[in-house]
Amino acid sequence: MIFNSPAFLCFFILFFPIYWLINKKTSITYRNTLLITASYLFYGLWDWRFLILIITTSSIDFTVGVLLSKTEKSAHRKILVGISIISNLSSLIFFKYFNFFIDSFHACLSYFSININTTMLSIILPVGISFYTLQALSYTIDLYKRETSPAKNILSFFAFTSFFPQLLAGPIEKSSHLLNQFESNKIFNYTFCVTGLRLILWGLFKKIVIADNFGVLADHIFNSESSVPGISIIIGSIFFAFQIYGDFSGYSDIAIGLSRMLGFDLIKNFQTPYFANSFTDFWRRWHISLSIWFRDYVYIPLGGNKKSTFRVYFNIFLTFLLSGLWHGANITFLIWGSLHGISLIIEKIFKQENKRNLHTLVFLILVILFWIPFRAKNYSHLTIMVNSIIDLKSYTFYHLNSTIQSFSIIRFTSLIIITISFLYIEKSINIDDFNEWIQCKRTWVRFSIYYILILTILAIGNFTVKPTFIYFQF
């Protein structure tokens, strides 16, 4: 089920009153049992086989957590956390990267004129595996470092690892923030619920109006079978920048909003990242929960900024290289991660030399261009697009014109006007969120904005595309 699908709407309308009735009448145990049941139903509707993996992962990590809480011997604790790390990463590597590594190994041997037969498996990537694997790992690692408390019971832990609002694409929560919320009573809070509804509305607007419309435009350019002029690719990267931001931040807003309606508080995952003034600032605002995870469990363990200058630069680059690999089993994601890592290193060098950072506009242009390798189908597709950008003779507007005409000039003009208004609101929100921005308005202004968003979704929203979210593929 997808958040913006009729099936999910029916699911949540049925679940919501039952959930609060059980919360009011029964114990936490029954509440968590209901949450687990609903989450497994939600997840199992994708493919029931996925349930085997998430139940196995949760069982191993809960057992490791219990054993960690009962032993003080350093060697035993290292073995236990090692079991958790190996079991989680091995399943992630197998399902997500097995064919990628086999293909890369074959390509390396072919380079040296060594030809061998390699077997590629037809592996179905379990939806959300990259997200719940990192969340489960954070629990056992934090327990090992004695930075969190063990789960009080298996039900609260299973609810923590399978919570359906954030199961498929985050935010990636640390147990110190979310786990204890499953171990406490919930009292219905009308105001908190309203803030959740606001975020859901804002998220649906970003997804259905911004992301899904710009997605059609971006797909027309990047999925073209014919040669695409350089100017179209550059404009296409702008379209994709709006698509991926509206899609992923929209999902996060809906996930946080749904959680609030159930009495849970999730970490903020986006803070208007395109209004950042540097790459460092961008990664404090974009996919915040993933940035925190890589900072705490990759960058700092590597030595962070406590090592020599060269080692700090290496740590930054490796962290972003791995971040790129996390996004997908494709060389293009490694290139995307490397570009951001190199840009952060350059910023750090300029800062150390007391020189000005890149101008905000230059930074924004680079971020948008860096989306090209992220959007590329493969390395060959990327090289074709880069060659088109470099070839100034290819800068014609015929393909861009056909893209806009196939979309509809009137619809495109309306989308641009709406996007300008959207950017104005984003600029006003800055590092706050939609709730903090709108709750300061007068009542008539707030309700006017609600109705405008609803009407815009109904009038301009793209309901013709298949309901899905980009980050489900990761």
Question: Length of the chain in residues, anyone?
Answer: 474
In the numeric block, the tokens 């690692």 are attached to: 141
Catalytic one among 287, 327, 340, 399? Answer: 327
Helices (DSSP H) in 145-211: which residue ranges? Answer: 154-162, 164-167, 175-178, 190-204
CA angle 42, 95, 329 (to 5 degrees): 110
Q: Quick one: which H or E segment has residue 23?
A: helix 6-25
Contacts of 270 (CB under 8 A, 6+ apart): 245, 248, 249, 252, 253, 285, 286, 287, 288
Annotated catalytic residue 327: yes
Q: How far apart are CA 132 and CA 395, in angstroms?
A: 44
CB 39 within 8 A of CB 163: yes
CA angle, 421 then 372 then 206, to 5°? 30
CB atoms within 10 A of CB 105: 12
Q: What CA–CA distances, in Å, run from 155 to 34, 58, 63, 87, 158?
A: 10, 10, 13, 21, 5
Q: How far is CA 257 from CA 23, 159, 193, 427, in A?
A: 19, 18, 8, 21
| Pair 197, 276: CB distance under 8 Å | no
Cα–Cα distances (Å) from 31 to 12, 156, 185, 356, 416, in that order, read 15, 10, 9, 54, 45
**What residues are annotated to the active site?**
327
